[in-house]
Every structure is written in structure tokens, then in C-alpha cells.
Amino acid sequence: KNIEKQIKIIQKLHARLTHIRKEYVRDVVTRVVKAKPSFITIEDLNIKGLLKNKHLADCVRKQNFYYFRICLEQKCKQTGIELRIVSRFYPSSKLCSCCGHKKVCLSLSERIFICDQCGIEIERDFNASLNLKYAMDYTIIT
Ligand SMILES: [Zn+2]
């Protein structure tokens, strides 16, 4: 009986966490859209591939990427913001957003992007986001 009780409590906690994570996604999407960008570019991540990586799977699942995309699509449709999607093969993390030089190898642990060509030091995700902003090869989804 006690074990059953504990299981119920844990299930409730998980449900609550799921709810909090979804709420967070909705909040982020709302904030992005409220900034009234002329367009938003997202990357078509290989989620299934990421889920196969046991070091990433749990984090990827908890980030609700798919839910994020659905929310973003809905909001962009409602507000008339152009939503662009870039191929998963576009090397957004490996390109230098300053000079366009492409790094041959970039490990996931390198959080600061340092360009071998122009020497710029820039936060990895910020660099990738600039590359997505400048991407010319994309599909418009909304
Ligand atoms: Zn560079």
C-alpha cells in the first residue's frame, strides 16, 4: 500500500514537471514573438538521432523541442511572422559568423567558438544563432 502511495506521489511530481516545462516553452515562444522579429529561423534538428545519444537523450527529451516547434509555428501563423527552417546539415555551429570560416572539428564541450582564421571568440550558441540568421538556404513554413 505504501509503495503504491509513493508511486502515485512520484507520478504526480513527474506530471507537474512536465507541465512546468511546457509552460516554460510557451513563455519563451511568447517572449520571442513579442520582440516582433521580421523573421525567425530554426534548425531542423535530428531529434531521433540526438535521442540515440545516451549522454544527450534525457536532456533533449526534457527540452520539449518538438513541442517548442509546434508552439512557435502556431504563434508565427497568428502574428504573421515568417518562420524559416534550415536543413539539419547546415553547419550552424561550425561556421564562423564573422568571417565564414568553417571549423573542421568542433567538440560539444567547446562552449566558446574560437575562429582559427579571424580569431574571434564568441559564445557557441550565439555564434550558431547568428549563422542561422544569415542563412540563405531555408524553407518558409509559415
Ligand atoms: Zn572567423
CA gap 25, 99 in Å, rounded: 33
Rounded to the nearest angstrom, the distance between the alpha carbon of 86 and the centre of ligand 1 is 21
Rounded to the nearest angstrom, the distance between the alpha carbon of 44 and the centre of ligand 1 is 24
CA gap 74, 37 in Å, rounded: 15
Q: What is the domain count for the chain?
A: 1
Question: What percentage of the chain exceeds 70 in pLDDT?
Answer: 100
Per DSSP bridges, beta strands 39-43 and 82-86 are parallel
Domain that holds residue 20: 2-140
Section 37-49 average pLDDT: 90
Q: Is the pLDDT of residue 129 over 90?
A: yes
Rounded to the nearest angstrom, the distance between the alpha carbon of 95 and the centre of ligand 1 is 8
The answer to whether residues 66 and 25 touch, using CB atoms and an 8 Å cutoff, is no
Rounded to the nearest angstrom, the distance between the alpha carbon of 102 and the centre of ligand 1 is 8
Assign 45 a pLDDT band (cuts: 50, 70, 90): confident
Joined grid coordinates for residue 3: 509503495
Question: Residue holding cell 531542423?
Answer: 44
Assign 131 a pLDDT band (cuts: 50, 70, 90): very high
Section 50-64 average pLDDT: 84
18-33 pLDDT, tens digit each? 999 999 999 999 999 9
Assign 62 a pLDDT band (cuts: 50, 70, 90): confident
Assign 117 a pLDDT band (cuts: 50, 70, 90): very high
Q: Is the pLDDT of residue 113 over 90?
A: yes
Containing H/E element for 58? Answer: helix 57-62
Rounded to the nearest angstrom, the distance between the alpha carbon of 120 and the centre of ligand 1 is 6
Angle between helix 65-79 and 2-34 (nearest 10): 40
Rounded to the nearest angstrom, the distance between the alpha carbon of 114 and the centre of ligand 1 is 8
